Amino acid sequence: MRVLDRTDRPVPVTVNGVTIAAEAIAAEAQNHPVPRGKPGWAWQAAARALALREVLLQEARMRRIVPEPIELEEGKWEIDEEALIRQLLESALAPAAIDEAALRAAYNAAPDRFRGPSLFEAAHILFSAAPDDAVARAAARQRAEAVLADLKRDPRRFATLAAEYSACPSRANGGVLGQLASGDTVPEFEAALVTIKEGAISDAPVETRYGLHLIRLDARVRGEVLPFSAVLPHLREAQEKAEWVRASRAYVGELAARAEVTGIDLVETPWTEERQPA
**Domain presence at residue 226:** no
CA atoms within 13 A of residue 189's CA, in its CB half-sphere: 25
Task: Say yes or no: 130 and 213 in one domain.
Answer: yes
Q: Which domain holds residue 168?
A: 119-221
Task: Say yes or no: 67 and 44 in one domain.
Answer: yes
Q: C-alpha dihedral over 145, 176, 195, 234, to 10 degrees?
A: -140
Stronger pLDDT, 270 or 251, i.e. the higher one: 251
What integer best gives the mean pLDDT of the chain? Answer: 90
Query: Three-state DSSP class for 266?
Result: coil
Task: Say yes or no: 214 and 124 in one domain.
Answer: yes
Task: Say yes or no: 15 and 83 in one domain.
Answer: yes
Cα separation, 207 vs 194, in Å, equals 15
pLDDT at 37 (0 to 100): 72
157: confidence class by pLDDT, cuts 50, 70, 90: very high
Question: DSSP secondary-structure letter at 173?
Answer: G
Task: Say yes or no: 177 and 149 in one domain.
Answer: yes
Report which of 205, 219, 195 is spatially closest to residue 128, judged by C-alpha positions. Answer: 205
pLDDT at 40 (0 to 100): 82
Cα separation, 101 vs 154, in Å, equals 55
Give me the helices (H) in the chain, please: 22-29, 41-62, 80-92, 100-109, 134-153, 158-165, 187-195, 228-258
pTM of the model: 0.62
Question: DSSP secondary-structure letter at 56?
Answer: H
114 dihedral zone (left: phi>0; alpha: psi -120 to 50; beta): beta
Q: What is the pLDDT of residues 39-55, one digit of tens each?
A: 688 899 999 999 999 99
pLDDT at 1 (0 to 100): 53
Task: Say yes or no: 208 and 131 in one domain.
Answer: yes
Q: How many domains does the chain have?
A: 2
Q: Tell me the percentage of the chain whose pLDDT exceeds 90.
A: 79
Task: Say yes or no: 178 and 92 in one domain.
Answer: no
| CA-angle at 271, arms to 269 and 275, nearest 5° | 70
Do the beta carbons of residue 128 and residue 211 sit within 8 Å?
yes
